[in-house]
Amino acid sequence: MTKSALGIDIAKLKFNTCLINQSGKLRHKVFPNTTTGFEQLLDWLSTQGVKQIHACLEATGTYAESLALFLHQAGHAVSVVNPAAIKAFAGSRLSRTKTDRVDAELIARFCQAQAPLAWTPLRQEVRELQALVRRLESLVEMRVSEENRLSSIIAVEVVRHSVEEHLSYLIEQVKRTQELIRNHINSHPTLKQQSRLLDSIPGIAETTAALLLSEITDIIQYRSARQVAAYAGLVPRERRSGSSVRGRTRLSKIGNARLRKALYFPAITALRCSPFFQAWAKGLRERGKCKMSVIGAAMRKLIHLAYGVLKTGKPFDPDWTKEAQNA
């Protein structure tokens, strides 16, 4: 039996829905983005005579996570889709109007036409780790902002004192959150083992390992290391057409920006300190790759290695490459 498609355009305070039922008719409704609103959505679906739906919504961070989890726990199929896919679908339909109502219908039609893969929520311990890691990321950003303010000339003494107090608070909170992350990982044997595996890779230390675990720990869903690299937006994107278009190959950057940001400095560290990465990068430079291309390739190599150690359960071994070449 084909499920009814439900498109959801979600925002901070509300979400617009568009239901395409079995007869093809459209039904629109707006709900508050709260637990009460989620319950109202189920009641509304019941009044529409719908028992099972395939809900589809864009991956918009924290706004979408609670509703997606609620619908999944209620027994419905849920797909959390990259906004770029919805934008491309809108372009294919020559859609010119953009409102919340129109976007909800567009997402519903995308769901009906493309039947995207169902989303599976992260395990509870991983969701908690992800929340802690993202909180740490926010605290570090605020700390850097206050440090920059303090490094400038603040003429008013009371303002300078306020910045200094806030900076001290943020430094303490960063340390506390780092400790919470460390204790959380150590209290879960699987996360602890995976963290040790990631820590064996050159350039990856405790902080980066925690972020990787919070973003790609469910390795089973990926069939290859290239899929994980694509999820992070680290696969090459060529731009060539006919005889006139000869653009430079760049990273696609269509994917998880947090992973790309987290792997930049580890890639630089690996290229500077690891004999394995130095020997590997030498071949790239000999083929004429520029500095940034080599760094991008190193970021992709790190994500491949992370996939390898988590998938196999074995720590990084620099002889892997030699064995693969001799096989």
pLDDT in tens, the chain (327 residues): 468 999 999 998 999 999 998 888 999 999 999 999 999 999 999 999 888 899 999 987 778 888 999 999 999 999 999 888 898 899 988 888 889 999 999 999 999 999 998 988 888 999 999 999 999 999 999 999 999 998 887 888 899 999 999 999 999 999 999 999 999 999 999 999 999 999 999 999 999 999 999 988 666 677 888 888 888 888 776 555 555 555 566 666 777 888 889 999 999 999 999 999 999 899 888 888 888 889 989 999 999 999 989 988 899 988 765 554 443
pLDDT at position 151, please? 87
pLDDT at position 241, please? 56
Q: Residue holding tokens 């999820």?
A: 231
Instruction: Convert the chain into a string of H (helix), E (strand) and C (coil).
Output: CCCEEEEEEECCCEEEEEEECCCCCEEEEEEECCHHHHHHHHHHHHHCCCCCEEEEEECCCHHHHHHHHHHHHCCCEEEEECHHHHHHHHHHCCCCCCCHHHHHHHHHHHHHHHCCCCCCCCCHHHHHHHHHHHHHHHHHHHHHHHHHHHHCCCCCHHHHHHHHHHHHHHHHHHHHHHHHHHHHHHCCHHHHHHHHHHHCCCCCCHHHHHHHHHHHCCHHHCCCHHHHHHHCCCCEEEEEECCCEEEEEEECCCCCHHHHHHHHHHHHHHHHHCHHHHHHHHHHHHCCCCHHHHHHHHHHHHHHHHHHHHHHCCCCCCCHHHHHHHC
pLDDT at position 187, please? 96
pLDDT at position 324, please? 46
pLDDT at position 326, please? 43
pLDDT at position 325, please? 43
pLDDT at position 284, please? 87
Pick from 205, 202, 253: nearest CA to 232: 253
